[in-house]
Amino acid sequence: MNPKSVMGLMQNHQIPQATSPLSSWLYYLERLHSQAIELGLERVQHVAAHLDLLTPAPTVFTVAGTNGKGTTCRTLEAILLAAGLRVGVYSSPHLVRYTERVRIQGEELSETEHSRSFAAIEAGRGETSLTYFEFGTLSALQLFKQARLDVVILEVGLGGRLDATNIVEPSVAVVTSIALDHTDWLGHDRESIGREKAGIFRGGKPAVVGEPDMPHSIQQVAEDLNAQLYRRDEAWSFSEQGERWQWEGGGTRLTDLPMPNVPLANAATALAALHYSALEIDEKAIFAGLQQAALPGRFQIVQQNPQLILDVAHNPHAAAYLAGRLAKLPCNGGVVRAVVGDAVGQRHCRYVGLPERTGGRVVLRAAGRPARGQR
């Protein structure tokens, strides 16, 4: 569908004109459904089946978890690209641009490509109402289908069992971590949250868990579904060795690995997912991918003198990890000023003792809330 047809389609639906066709679409999607979030698969699966989007690639990794999804996906992507495979990644939310949510061969697509894909979903959904995230998920699958990929990596948006990404059958399901977050939707304890995230498991398929303190509910779901559970510190493990590290599992040991620019536990979880998949990935690709893996907003150093670090920690679990990283920084008696998103962010930082764990060097300041579309 050409850009003129896209604009005509928007005008037919009385979508306000914005600075670009993509901006107009995003404005429309935010107002298309009566609820911003409505967990469930029936509507989105119906549209996906109609448009033949349920098998976006021969191999699919679906990644859930409270924290660590993004860096695990980025590590998988970097290694698979280094291995010479054609790879697509769907992730959320975005930091600056909506186009960050879909990458093919390590690159974002143009706004025009997204607009055309949105138009295809709009034309195919009929009378079925979709949320912003559901519409975006279907659009990503449409883009992947057109690209003829070897591997697709899907980052779960919320939970797992009822998330729109779960309409796709994963070759390997991954749960990175389990902590309290989005409790109004997923439950108020780790057992409930673990059960929801384990909903991406499939019978007879690998289910990799990177959470060292795995809730029993994950084990129960795996047993009920007859999934092949591979949990950290039982089926596989990793350890630091000075400036290098090693990974071991399933009769394989990888030694002298380079330290990645992502949390080591998440890089190790990505290696486990690759190991237990049907893909053959050589050590050269693993080494190269680990050196290339990085994700904006994850302890991202953007300036020196003074050092400026950006991090998207947004719950107590993530704030605790951030506190540990900050505590290791050489500060020469100086003060670390932490500018957090809002009062909730300040509460998370105080809950994990961020000021105390850094010797009182952290001073908290509040900033404004993010725009609605950056969710």
Range of the domain at 281: 39-111+124-292
* Runs of H (alpha helix) within the chain: 3-12, 21-32, 42-50, 69-82, 111-124, 132-147, 183-186, 190-197, 216-225, 264-275, 283-292, 316-327, 343-351, 354-357
| Same structural domain, 60 and 201 | yes
Q: Each residue of 240-283: pLDDT tens digit?
A: 998 999 999 999 999 999 999 899 999 999 999 999 999 999 99
Query: How many CB atoms within 10 Å of residue 138?
Result: 26
Residue 374, in any domain of the structure: no
How many domains, the chain? 2
Residue 17, in any domain of the structure: no
Tokens of 276: 């237990």
Is the CB of residue 83 less than 8 Å from the CB of residue 203?
A: no
Residue 100, in any domain of the structure: yes
Tokens of 261: 């620019």
What pLDDT was estimated at residue 162?
94
What pLDDT was estimated at residue 19?
38
Residue 162, in any domain of the structure: yes
**Which residues of the chain have a pLDDT value below 70?**
1-20, 36, 180-188, 297-298, 314-315, 317-318, 330-375
| Same structural domain, 193 and 340 | no
| Same structural domain, 146 and 287 | yes
The last residue of a domain, from among 292, 323, 346: 292
| Same structural domain, 257 and 316 | no
Tokens of 21: 């066709």
Measured in residues, the chain has a length of 375
| Same structural domain, 279 and 346 | no
| Same structural domain, 232 and 128 | yes
| Same structural domain, 333 and 284 | no
Is the CB of residue 361 less than 8 Å from the CB of residue 330?
A: no
CATH number for the domain harbouring residue 235: 3.40.1190.10
Angle between helices 190-197 and 216-225 (to 10 degrees): 30
Nearest to 203 by CA among 189, 185, 216, 221: 221
Residue 216, in any domain of the structure: yes
What pLDDT was estimated at residue 16?
32
CATH number for the domain harbouring residue 342: 3.90.190.20
Residue 13, in any domain of the structure: no
The last residue of a domain, from among 292, 323, 344: 292
| Same structural domain, 264 and 334 | no
The last residue of a domain, from among 292, 310, 334: 292
Residue 106, in any domain of the structure: yes
Tokens of 372: 């609605």
What pLDDT was estimated at residue 300?
72
Residue 79, in any domain of the structure: yes
What pLDDT was estimated at residue 3?
43
| Same structural domain, 288 and 306 | no
Would the pTM count as exceeding 0.85?
no
| Same structural domain, 223 and 362 | no
| Same structural domain, 199 and 326 | no
| Same structural domain, 58 and 167 | yes
Q: Each residue of 76-87: pLDDT tens digit?
A: 999 999 999 999
Q: Determine the Cα–Cα distance for residues 209 and 269; give it in Å rounded to an integer.
A: 7
What pLDDT was estimated at residue 365?
55
310 φ, ψ (degrees, to nearest 5)? -110, 135
